[in-house]
Amino acid sequence: LNIIPKPEAKNLNKILCDSENIGLILFDLNTIKNEINNQNDTTIHFYTDNSYTSEITSPINISNNQIIYTKVISKDGCINNSTITFTLSTHTLLTSAPFQICKNDGVVGEFDLYLKSKEISSMLGISENEIKYFETLENAKNNLNALTGTYLNNSKRTFIYATSTSIEKCKTYIEIPLIENLNPIITIQDEYIKCKNSSVEIDLNQSYKEIIWSTGEKNVESISITNPGKYSVTVSNESC
């Protein structure tokens, strides 16, 4: 008994550019055969129905969310099936890693856009000087009120957007999450007085993610000082 495996048949999700928002795109399914199965000894047939009765033999008008059904046949006659789901879009929207800053409470967040340019240029496949930033996706689509330099988040936005300077149809836009982390506050005295041969306790009276005292002690909220001198403490919460 010789068992022959079924040929590979990958399910695909394809986004087609509908720049004029017409709702139909003429598409040749033969151009994506290798994405379904790249073996030379197989044949691939396309159908509009999951009963595999209405075969597609020429380019077809694709509508949004349309599903095309495939039948992959190996040289030995084994059959496998898959689907292609199409989405029509006037643009592509990607999301970058969050853009995080540290700031004091009550202060407007300042985002240096230059610090994000390397990541955005890599995502878009362009040089850094071809990037444009915008407060909203609509502004980005219409090329209105581009942002430059340091963005002051007066409107307390949670996203801004980036794209290329090109005028190509169906552009790619990057959604950039904005996160404003607050700098931790240390509430201790600048000076402590102690009596000779005694000690004084310095207590932060607050917990932090990380605490480093100049005495070498770590992640303790209070320390006892016996010798006079200058001491310091560094604290952090999250990335601040």
Q: Mind listing the pLDDT tens digit for each residue in 85-108?
A: 999 988 888 999 999 999 998 999
User: Mind giving me the DSSP string for 96-120?
Assistant: ---EEEEE-TTSPPEEETHHHHHHH
Pairing of strands 60-63, 24-27: antiparallel
Amino acid in the structure at residue 63: S
pTM metric for this prediction: 0.67
The per-residue pLDDT for 233 is 87
Q: Mind listing the pLDDT tens digit for each residue in 21-78?
A: 899 999 999 999 999 999 989 999 999 999 999 999 999 999 999 999 999 999 999 9
**Which residues on adjacent β-strands are paired with residue 112?**
150
Indicate if the alpha-carbon torsion angle 218, 220, 226, 232 is positive or negative: positive
> Is 238's pLDDT higher than 80?
no
Q: Mind listing the pLDDT tens digit for each residue in 5-21?
A: 899 999 999 989 888 88
